[in-house]
Amino acid sequence: MTIGGWILMIGSLSFVWGLVGWCYWKVLTTPDSTSS
């Protein structure tokens, strides 16, 4: 794989996994007003 391929693959995977991790961390650590 070329360096460009590595950069794009790792960059993309880091972005999506990082974003989803941060989002769920925020969701799970803030109070849920939906629960009744």
Distance CA(4)–CA(19), nearest Å, equals 22
Distance CA(11)–CA(3), nearest Å, equals 12
Residue 33 in tokens: 């007003």
Residue 8 in tokens: 């794009």
Closest approach of another protein to the CB of residue 3, in Å: 10
Residues 7-36 that bind another protein (CB under 8 A): 8-9, 11-13, 15-17, 19-20, 23-24, 26-28, 30, 32-36
User: Site residues (CB under 8 A) for another protein?
Assistant: 1-2, 4-6, 8-9, 11-13, 15-17, 19-20, 23-24, 26-28, 30, 32-36
